[in-house]
Amino acid sequence: MIYHIYDKTKLTDIPSNDTNNTWLDFNELLVANGISNNDVIVKELINSDDFLRAVLRKFNPEKRFVSHCFYFENPNVATRFIVSDAALNQFPDMPTRVKIVKNALDFCKNTKILGDIRPIVTFLNHSGHFNIKNPTACTSHLLVTECSQTMGNLADFSDFQLDCCLSENARKIKKIPQNRNTDIIIVNDINEGNSIVKSFLLNGWHGYGFLTGLDMRIVLNSRANLSENTNAIAKIAK
């Protein structure tokens, strides 16, 4: 079953419920019964804060760490990748960013959204190298070391600029020895992540947002990107 969560003060003309879809106001979600891990929860026309409050209260009583993955693909480019976290964790410290990585890797493994590859994870570092005068560059460098030690059996880790994540030519010019594009881009904070996500959406890329860290499959797109919900559901449907 696909549960579409909306705010009845913002969306009054809703489709009828059928055998595959149920439409619930976010307050109705709190008292709804029978929702299982095989179902999909979808954010429709509703503020993200209201949606998250209802979902986390309903499905996260253990207070598990939750983050957000934005998956991108382009019909004209043979590239697909994930940006995390651009919607939930605002200014994550180093331990939090390690948790964001683990959630993203678990999400990819459970959904096969990137296929059966060994992911490459890149922490954005706008210096492109270790720079003691740049706190972001220092943190990114340390994160590569930390994640390589704790999750090196799950993925490969690097840190450099955004263009090198997605351009073989940029890596060649800057002499970065990564043999293919990055699969999971870890941003420094929500402002950087939000700008990157919106930039790709405005330039013809298809993007789908997902909540990660819970057993539920949850679509968390922007209200300006709700038309992509159907495709987002298809990406994580079992």
The alpha-carbon radius of gyration of the chain (Å, integer) is 18
Q: Which helix (H) or strand (E) holds 58?
A: helix 48-59
Q: What is the pLDDT of residue 130?
A: 67
pLDDT tens figures, 19-40: 999 999 999 999 999 999 889 9
Q: What is the pLDDT of residue 78?
A: 80
Residue type, 197: V
CB-CB contact of 86 with 225 (8 Å) = no
Q: Which residues of the chain have pLDDT under 70?
A: 128-134, 238
Dist. CA 141–CA 188, nearest whole Å: 12
pLDDT tens figures, 141-155: 899 999 999 999 999
Q: What is the pLDDT of residue 238?
A: 63
Q: How far is CA 140 from CA 106, 121, 182, 223, in A?
A: 21, 11, 15, 31
CB-CB contact of 155 with 106 (8 Å) = no
**What is the CATH number that goes with domain 69-207?**
3.40.718.10
